[in-house]
Amino acid sequence: MSKSLPYSVKDVHYDNAKFRHRSFFKVITQTLFTSDMKRECVSYSTGKFLGLFMIFGLACLILTHASKTPSATDGLSKGLETNEEHKVVTDVGVRFKKLLRRAPRLPPRLSGNEKVSSGIFTGKPNEHDEEKWKARQRNVKEAFIHAWSGYKKSAMGYDELLPLSMQGFDGLGGLGATVVDSLDTAMIMGLEEVVSEAGSWIESNLLERISQKGDVNLFETTIRVLGGLLSAYHLSGGDQDMNLANTGPKPTIYLEIAKNLADRLLSAFTSSPTPIPYSDVLLKNSSAHPAHNLLSSTSEVSTLQLEFNYLSAISGDPKYKTEGMKVFAHFKTLPKVEGLVPIYISPHSGEFIGQEIRLGSRGDSYYEYLIKVRLQLRSIQDGNFTYLYDMYEEAMRGVRHLLVQKTVPNELVFVGELPGGSKGSFSPKMDHLVCFLPGTLALGATKGITKEKAMKDNLLTIEDFENLKLAEDLAKTCFEMYSVTSTGLAPEIAYFHTKDFYEDGLGGGNQSSEYVNDIIIKFNDRHNLLRPETVESLFVLYRITQDPKYREWGWQIFQSFEKYTKVDSGGYTSLNDVTTLPPQRRDKMETFFLGETLKYLYLLFGDSSVIPLDKFVFNTEAHPFPIKDAIYLEGGSFMMKGTM
């Protein structure tokens, strides 16, 4: 167990323990053969021994007398009367065994917070609770319809909606990103009209757009557009084991468009002199080039593999998986700081550039995809992908050792940054993006099954328990980043009061918050972009721990979105400052609000059997892909055996 954890894990040992019944013989022999007892028995005289024997006999008589007290069932059966003497002897033996048996091992006494965070909630919700969460899930569905209606009315076919000015905006290459990003959310919600509208637009327009458009970012296009198409393919029945769409195009339409797009995106890999792809692709002529600073973001080049792997699986063409997995194979060879990596890498040299380490922007989803890709490929027999899990475990140990600290005065756990690498000073800064980490830690610990089942089957290591504890502590901090503000919505970036850092007068505005002196929000960081990372982690933690507090936290966040970001004419908007009332609005609805934020809230409030975490893996844009039982055949082709 790591000695560097900044919080108590005294309950870890109990969680792994089992109650083991000791036999009467074992209790006697263990007691008699301890060194202290042997010394005492040797020192006893015969007189003392006889005295103890008499006391023992007297105790037996008392117990025998007590056992003869009539019961309510005496005389109901003559058979019982004839066996009375045997019953007395048996009762005496049982009572004597109870006297000698050691007390069972009890869990340690926990504080109030620990009782909540370490508990396992096995009881089924009552009928009232089920109706409450169904109603709240309907509220989320209505929010999605409101967001989609605003987009359809003012920005259909554009990447994003500007809800205040009621117009569209192409900020992601002009591929209609909101349409594709929203489609599988509508399928999951059972919104057939939206599925039909979005599907029809994709079938009629997207292939032409792909063939005519210019520069797009490899990462953003892969996770939003390619990921959305692949998820829509599966959810509409493409794998013949699930169909949530009764309207819209045939699944093969989504697959053919996905292949066309991916073939063009592959130029980012094939044009680079190293396994690290270029960051930008010119779609119309399938060429690629590096960013203006000649660098690629670490997270961007390592957050393509789920999508390319799944496309290879369903198309039968291994080229997508081959190119994507070269990146991780290369990362395996590079030097790291306790498993942590800098946020920039050169596609020309294949080496990391700079020393800045963080789990926020440009670093975040590298760690997320280490564990998710390993889960996706765990059933493939062609090669050894365990190195992904080894890299993930090493990185999480590095996080606990180098990046985790606690606030002053209330000891919130947070993940900071190392601006100068391992030799640089620690920064108590945490992006909202880091709030993906609680869900990733929980997923890595149980592999998607509930904590209760994982413990019952003895599947959790001590390190898994450490990561689960850290996940719950970080989720608490992420939620408090919301509750500490006047609007109940989190800022884009927060700093934390530590023994080495504090800035006065930069609170969140909610003076009733217990953590108003722990969280610092600088003026340039007070905006909110409708981000999904916190509700994503609440969804995963609820599924894994079954703790209802994560649902309640999610409901509070949703209510704040409804109160302060909803635009009457349609859509939802980002905010400029979450610490003031009324908040100034920013006039932009990101695609991920429909593709991620509302999807995770809907799933959080719904039945856990829908898109189960042990059978699906979500890409970083919340598009679910099935985990397949697959055999990778010689020559590079796949043979699918169905879902796990």
Structure tokens at 311: 């496309």
Q: Mean pLDDT, the chain, as a whole number?
A: 84
Active-site option among 533, 536, 547, 621:
533
Catalytic residue check, 364: yes
DSSP 256-312: HHHHHHHHHHTHHHHTSSSSSPPSEEEGGGTEEE--TTS-EEHHHHTSSHHHHHHHH
Q: What are phi and psi of 414, to 5 degrees?
A: -140, 165
For residues 345 and 298, is the Cβ–Cβ distance under 8 A?
yes
Which helix (H) or strand (E) is 638 found in, with range? strand 638-643
Helix axes 305-315, 251-265, angle to 10 degrees: 130
Query: What are the boundaries of each domain within the chain?
Result: 140-630
Kindly provide the residue ranges of all beta strands, DSSP E only, lying in 445-593, ordered along the sequence. 493-496, 519-520
Catalytic residue check, 492: yes
Which of these CATH numbers, 3.40.50.10170, 3.30.565.10, 1.50.10.10, 3.40.50.2300, describes 140-630?
1.50.10.10
Active-site option among 114, 160, 184, 220:
220
Answer yes or no: is 620 a known binding residue. yes
Cα–Cα distance measured from residue 323 to residue 560, given in angstroms and rounded to the nearest whole number: 43
Catalytic residue check, 634: no
Which of 526, 533, 534, 540 shows the shortest CA–CA distance to 553? 534
Cα–Cα distance measured from residue 627 to residue 379, given in angstroms and rounded to the nearest whole number: 9
The pLDDT of residue 18 is: 31
Number of neighbouring beta carbons within 10 Å of residue 256: 16
Active-site option among 11, 239, 307, 492:
492
Active-site option among 307, 323, 364, 431:
364
The pLDDT of residue 41 is: 41
Across the 644 residues of the chain, what is the mean pLDDT of every consecutive 10-residue run?
Answer: 40 33 40 42 47 60 47 36 40 42 38 42 70 97 98 98 98 97 98 97 98 95 98 92 77 98 98 98 97 96 98 97 98 98 98 97 98 89 80 98 97 96 84 98 98 97 98 98 98 97 95 97 98 98 98 98 98 98 98 98 97 97 85 34 35
